[in-house]
Structure 1
Amino acid sequence: MRTPSTFWLVQIGVWGSLTLLNLSVRGYFNHYKLGELVNSLSLFVSLMIASGMLRRFYRDRGTGSLPKGIGQALLGSALASLVAVVIIGLVLLPNQEFLFGEVSNVALIQLLASYPNVFLFLLCWSAVYLLLKRQKALKLAFTREADLKEQLAASQMELLLNQLNPHFMFNAINNIRALILEDTNKARDSLAQLSDVLRVTLQTKQDKLWPLSQEIELTKSFIELNMLQFERRLVVNWHLTGIQLDHYRVPCLSLQLLVENAIKHGISNNSEGGTITIKIDADKRLTLEVSNPGTITANTNSTRLGITNIQQRLHLLFQENVHFSLTENKQMVTAKIIIEEPQCFAQ
C-alpha cells in the first residue's frame, strides 16, 4: 500500500507513541524500574513484528466484499496478537528475577490477560490498513476504468474515421474517373481539388474536433470538386448566422458528410439536379442544417452507414449535449445537428 520505508516509519511512529504512553503509565506506578522499560520495549518490538506479519497477510487480501474483509481482519489480528504475546512472554518470563527482583506465580496469567488489549490494538491497525488499501484499490479501479473508456472511445473514433475517409475518397475518385474521357482539364482540376481535401482530412485525422471555419472551408472545397461533375445541376445556398465561426469546434468532416449525402441522394439521382441549402447558426447553441430534394424512404439503405457514423461520433464527443435529426417535408430531406451548451465546444 505504501513504499516499505514509509510503511516502517509509520509503524515506528504509531507503536513508538503507544510504547512511550505505556512506559509513562507503568513507570508512574512502578517507579520506572528496569523491568518496566524492558516490558515496554518488548511490546514495541512485538507490535512491529506483528504489524509486519499482518502486512504480508493482507497483501493479497482485503479488497473483496466487506464481510470477507471483516473476517480477514479478525483472523489476522487474532493470529498476530498471539505472536506478539508469545514474543513478550519469551522476553519477560525467563528473566523475571533479573528484571523485577522476584518470580511471580501469576506472571503467565497476567501475560495472557494482556492478549485482549494487544488484539484490540492490532484490530484497529488492521481496520485502518485495510480501509486505506481498499480505497487505493477502488481509486486504481476507477482510473483503469476511465483509461479503458478513453481507449475504447479513441478506438471507436478511429474506426469511424477510417470508415469515413474511404467513403469520401472512393466517391471522389469515381467522379474524376467519369471526367477523364469527357474533359481532361476538368479531371486535372478535380485531382488537384481531391489532393487538397485529402491532405486536410489526413492532417486532422487524429483530432476529435476542429474549428467550424475549417470544416466550412473543407466542405466548400468538396462542393467545388463535385461541381466539376454536376455543373449547373448542383446549386448550393449558404446561410451563415451568429457570432464568429472560429469560436466553435465541430467533429471533423461532420458537415462535409451531410453535404456528401445530400449530393449523392438529392442531386446525382435527379436528372435535373437540385438545390442544397446549408444553414449554420452559431449563437447560444450551434446548429448545422443541410437540406436537399428527395425522400428518406428512397435513401434509407444507402445512407444508413453515413448517418450511423455521424450519430456515433457525435455521441462519443458530446454525449447528451447533441441532437441529430433526419426529417422529410414536401419532397425535401433535412439533416440537422444541434450542439447544446457552448462550453462543450467553445475554444
Structure 2
Amino acid sequence: MHRIKRVFRNVHIVLWVLFGLLVALQLSQDRPSSEHWLTMTTGIMLTTLYVFYSHFILLKQFSGKKKRRPYFLRLGLIILTGNLPFLLFHHVKFDTFFLFFNYYIISLISMVPVFVFLSWLARVTENLVINTFKKEQLEKQAVEAELYYLKSQINPHFLFNTLNNIHTLVYKQALAAPEAVLQLASLMRYMIYESNSPLVPLSREMTYLQDYMSLQQLKYKNSPVVDLQVEGLTDSCHIAPLLFIHLLENAYKHSPARLEPGEVKVNMKITGDTLTFMVQNPVSTNPGRKVDEPGGIGLPNVRKRLALLYPGKHSLEANNSGGTFTVKLKIQGLKLMAHEKEADLLYHR
C-alpha cells in the first residue's frame, strides 16, 4: 500500500514540475507578459495547486459519506476563491472594480473548473487503483488462509498409528525402531517447517513421500507393498508442498487390509516442465468403504489446492474400474531451477 501511494506521489511531483515548466515557457514567449513571466507563473501555479489539492483533499474527507451539502458548500468556496492567487500575482494593476471583476470572471471560468475536474479524476483513479490492490491483497490472504487450512488437513490417525507401531518396535527391541523414529522426525519437520514455503524442491517432496511409505510399511510384515517408480530428475524443478500426500494416503486407506508386495503402484515422471504423478491401488471389497467418503479430505482437498496453485495448468483424473482405483495428476509449467533452464535453452538452440 505504501509503495502505491509513493508511486502516486512521485507521479504528482513529476506532472506538476512539467506543468510549471510548460507554463513558464509559454509565458516567457508571450510578448505582453514576457517581462512578468515569473510572477505570472507563480500566480498560475499557486491557483492550480490550491484548487487541485483543496478539492482532492475534500473528496477524501467526504468519500463514502452521504452528506452532500457540506461538500458542495466547501466546493463552492474553493471555486470562488480559487483564482485569487492568480489575481494577486498578476502584473495588471486593477484600478477599478470593473477591471478586477472582468479578470476574476475570465480566470475563474478558464482555470478553476479544469483543475476541479482534474482533481476529481485523480482522486477517482487513485481510489480505483488502491481499492483494486486491497481487493487483490484480501483475495491473496484468503487464498493463503485456505491453502494453510488445506495443508493442515493431514490425517492425524496416521501419526497415532505410527507412534503405536514404533512403540511396538521399541517394546520388541527391533532394529528398525531407531530408523522409524528418524523417519517420523523427518516427516514431521517437513510438515511443520519446510512445507511453509510456497515451493519446495521436488526431490524433498519425494523424500517426504518415501518417509511416509516407510512408516506405513510398519503395518505390513511382507516386502514393500508400494512399487515406486521415478522417471526424470526430481531435483530439476520445484513444486507446491504436500500435493501428493492425500493421493498416497487414499491409496492406503481404501486398499484391502492385506496387500501383496508391489500391489500399490506409484509413478512419478518429469518431462521438461511437466510432471505426471500416478497412484494405482486395489479397491477394498468392504462395501462400507468408498473411495470418496462424504466429508473426506482426499481428492476434494487436492482439487481445491490445484485450482488455487495451478489454475489452468493441471489435470486430475480419477478412475475406478476392475477393482483398481487410479488417480493421475498432471501439472504443467513447473518452476525449473536456474541451471536447468539454461540447459534447456542450450538444448533447443
Q: What is the TM-score with the length of structure 1 in the denominator? A: 0.72
TM-aligned CA distance change 1:59 to 1:81, over 3 Å: closer
User: For each residue in 1:230-252, what CA deviation from the matched residue of structure 2 results, as whole angstroms up to 9, or x when unmatched?
Assistant: 122752222333x3222232232
Aligned twin of 2:270: 282
Please say if residues 278 and 291 of structure 1, whose CA atoms lie closer than 8 Å, have aligned partners that are also in contact. yes
Structure 2 residue 150 is the aligned partner of structure 1 residue 160: yes
- Looking at structure 2, the residues matched to 246 and 271 of structure 1 have their Cα atoms a distance apart, in angstroms, of 31
Structure 2 residue 325 is the aligned partner of structure 1 residue 333: yes
Which of 123, 126, 151 aligns to 1:133? It is 123
Which of 250, 259, 277 aligns to 2:239? It is 250
TM-aligned CA distance change 1:15 to 1:122, over 3 Å: farther
Question: How many pairs align?
Answer: 318
Structure 1 counterpart of 2:20, one-letter code = G
Structure 2 counterpart of 1:249, one-letter code = H
- Looking at structure 2, the residues matched to 288 and 8 of structure 1 have their Cα atoms a distance apart, in angstroms, of 55
- Deviation for aligned residue 1:330: 0.5
Which of 309, 315, 323 aligns to 1:323? It is 315
**SS of the residue aligned with 1:13?**
helix
Pick the structure with greater CA Rg.
Answer: 1
Structure 2 residue 211 is the aligned partner of structure 1 residue 205: no
- Deviation for aligned residue 1:320: 1.7
Q: How does 1:1-347 map to 2 (within 5 A)?
A: 2=9, 6=13, 10=17, 13=20, 17=24, 20=27, 24-26=30-32, 41=39, 44-45=42-43, 48-49=46-47, 51-61=49-59, 76=75, 79-84=77-82, 99=93, 108=98, 111-112=101-102, 114-164=104-154, 166=156, 168-177=158-167, 185-232=175-222, 234-241=224-231, 243-267=232-256, 269-270=257-258, 275-284=263-272, 285-294=274-283, 298-301=290-293, 304-340=296-332, 342=333, 344-347=334-337
* Structure 1 unaligned spans of 5+: 66-71
Please say if residues 51 and 112 of structure 2, whose CA atoms lie closer than 8 Å, have aligned partners that are also in contact. no
Higher helix share: 1
Please say if residues 319 and 325 of structure 2, whose CA atoms lie closer than 8 Å, have aligned partners that are also in contact. yes
- Deviation for aligned residue 1:279: 1.4
Please say if residues 275 and 293 of structure 1, whose CA atoms lie closer than 8 Å, have aligned partners that are also in contact. yes
TM-aligned CA distance change 1:168 to 1:252, over 3 Å: farther
- Looking at structure 2, the residues matched to 302 and 174 of structure 1 have their Cα atoms a distance apart, in angstroms, of 27
Structure 2 counterpart of 1:132, one-letter code = A
Structure 1 counterpart of 2:46, one-letter code = M
- Deviation for aligned residue 1:321: 0.7
CA RMSD in angstroms comes to: 4.2
Q: Tell which deviates more after alignment, 320-329 or 80-89.
A: 80-89
Structure 1 counterpart of 2:275, one-letter code = L
TM-aligned CA distance change 1:53 to 1:11, over 3 Å: farther
User: For each residue in 1:160-219, what CA deviation from the matched residue of structure 2 results, as whole angstroms up to 9, or x when unmatched?
Assistant: 222227464234234435656666555554333312322333331212322222222222
Please say if residues 47 and 82 of structure 2, whose CA atoms lie closer than 8 Å, have aligned partners that are also in contact. yes
Q: Among all aligned residue pairs of Structure 1 and Structure 2, give the percentage whose two residues are the same amino acid.
A: 20
- Looking at structure 1, the residues matched to 164 and 43 of structure 2 have their Cα atoms a distance apart, in angstroms, of 83
* Structure 2 unaligned spans of 5+: 1-7, 65-70, 338-349
- Looking at structure 2, the residues matched to 216 and 87 of structure 1 have their Cα atoms a distance apart, in angstroms, of 72
**SS of the residue aligned with 1:280?**
strand
- Looking at structure 2, the residues matched to 91 and 288 of structure 1 have their Cα atoms a distance apart, in angstroms, of 76
- Deviation for aligned residue 1:281: 1.9
- Deviation for aligned residue 1:112: 2.9
Please say if residues 237 and 278 of structure 1, whose CA atoms lie closer than 8 Å, have aligned partners that are also in contact. yes
Structure 2 counterpart of 1:58, one-letter code = F
**SS of the residue aligned with 1:308?**
helix
TM-aligned CA distance change 1:118 to 1:17, over 3 Å: farther
**SS of the residue aligned with 1:228?**
helix
- Deviation for aligned residue 1:114: 4.9
- Deviation for aligned residue 1:223: 1.6
Structure 2 counterpart of 1:216, one-letter code = M
User: For each residue in 1:274-317, what CA deviation from the matched residue of structure 2 results, as whole angstroms up to 9, or x when unmatched?
Assistant: 71011122115211000000069723217821222222222221
- Deviation for aligned residue 1:325: 2.2
Q: What is the TM-score with the length of structure 2 in the denominator? A: 0.72
Please say if residues 324 and 336 of structure 1, whose CA atoms lie closer than 8 Å, have aligned partners that are also in contact. yes
TM-aligned CA distance change 1:191 to 1:20, over 3 Å: same
TM-aligned CA distance change 1:293 to 1:86, over 3 Å: closer
Please say if residues 50 and 81 of structure 1, whose CA atoms lie closer than 8 Å, have aligned partners that are also in contact. no
- Deviation for aligned residue 1:260: 2.2
- Deviation for aligned residue 1:323: 1.4
